[in-house]
Structure 1
Amino acid sequence: MVEIQIIEKRSRGRPQLRCDDDTRAVILEAAKAQFLENGYAAANISAIAQAAGVSTKTLYRLFPAKTDLFSSIISSKIGEFLLCLDDSVLAAMELEEGLRRILTSYGVLTLSQETIGITRLVLGESDRFQEIANTFYETAIVGTNAIMEKWLMAQCDKGLIKLEDPRTATGMLRGMMIMEPQRATMLGQQESPTRDEIRARAKICARLFLGGCRA
């Protein structure tokens, strides 16, 4: 009886194993910290595994290459952006309110200190690692552009706005929203904008844009 009690006590004290999804999330946070602190080239896989509390074998099972870690981090950031843009919620909003929501979410995504750091990394190391430039361009830039373009085209179909070239208009809208504060932050001339500052900028940009294309 005593032996059984000891065995039961030991088994209850063992740490529970994480599922793969949770382990991936922990690894990605550790990888993100490594990339932002040391850059892409100098990021150390063993250090990432140690920070995540996993073996390198487990890390490589879930992310076979460093590029997989980087692309997953970018995809995760875009996923956060998408969560803020539920189609049913946007459909229930007035035109300007919907555009403000999209621009605010886009500003929060692109103007955060974390995203600024990732952008610096890509610009600084893409000449040696074209794969990170490709991932960033296709997932972050083309991906967000497609989401915003789709919404603008839907407003055209409703007869609410008129755009000769929705894709070009989307690029101009994105630039109006983030270019000036992004450059100033990347060059160390200001801190990343606060959420309230991003909302205020989104409101101005939405009014200016719609003032030129409202049907």
Structure 2
Amino acid sequence: MAQAKYSTASSSRECRPRGRPQLRSDEETKQIVFDAARHAFAVDGYAATSTEELARRAGISTKTLYRLFPGKAALFEAMCADRLERLLSDVHLQANDEVDIETGLRAALLACADLALDPEVVALQRIILQESAEFPELAATFYKNGIMRTVAALAGWLRAQVKRKRIAIDDVEEVAGILIGMIASAPQRAAIFGGVPLPSRKDIARRVRVCAALFLDGCRAKSP
């Protein structure tokens, strides 16, 4: 009986994992920091949130935080870039000759609207507006990594349509900016300044249909 007990105990010890537990990767840690930073910046503001507070929220040391990000501004830039990159990776604006121009334009505009009116993107804009006077580099980062990349994606789609002679445009970048402004600027302002809820997917689709029709056909009354 004693021998049996010893064998069981010995077997139990042999089944235990050996060595130190596997450490979390830097990429996993960064995602945890991004989540903590998004919440902290949204609640307390960028200026009022210290790096020590960010490290505490993320459950890491300030030494680890500074190893991953040289400072708070670098963290904010990386956080914006990460979120926008994930959203932009879902924006596929591919020209398709089998789809008519209006259907293709609606799909392209809807993809851009989904990005521009994403709740987290609008939340980032709200933070940037609150802090832009003291930290103008935040606005520059968001403009470069978010707004201009979205414009470039739509401009690429429009350029493909011009090459196919389906539309005639002199400056595709300018037109892309105008179109994104038509579908997103008013809802963004209403949400940020007026506290109005962001439009539903159905409302966004309706707005996209109106925008596409205005762009392709105009709204001037025809002469009798």
Normalised by the length of structure 1, the TM-score is 0.85
Asked if 1:209 corresponds to 2:218, the answer is: no
The 8 Å contact of residues 117 and 184 in structure 2, kept in 1 or not, is answered as yes
Q: CA RMSD in A?
A: 2.4
2:95–2:160: 8 Å Cα contact kept in structure 1?
A: no
**Kindly tell me: are residues 21 and 35 of structure 1, through their superposed partners in 2, closer, same or farther at Cα, counting changes over 3 Å?**
same
Relative to structure 1, the CA distance from residue 11 to residue 109 in structure 2 (aligned partners, 3 Å threshold; closer, same or farther) is same
Give 2:102's match in structure 1, choosing from 74, 90, 96.
96
Partner of 2:163: 157
Runs of 4+ in 1 over 3 A off after TM superposition: 1-8
Query: Cα distance 1:49–1:6, how it changes in 2: closer, same or farther (>3 A)?
Result: farther
1:193 corresponds in structure 2 to 199
1:9 is aligned to 2:16: yes
TM normalised by structure 2 equals: 0.82
- In the alignment, which residue of structure 2 is the partner of 1:47? 53
1:77 aligns with 2:83: yes
What does residue range 93-172 of structure 1 map to in structure 2 within 5 Å? 94=99, 95-172=101-178
Rg larger for:
2
Amino acid at match of 1:81: L
Instruction: Name stretches of at least 5 consecutive residues in structure 2 with no aligned partner.
Output: 1-6, 219-224
- SS of 1:41's partner is coil
Number of aligned positions between the proteins = 209
Query: Identity over aligned residues, as a percent?
Result: 37
Tell whether 2:26 aligns with 1:20. Answer: yes
Q: Which has the higher helix share?
A: 1
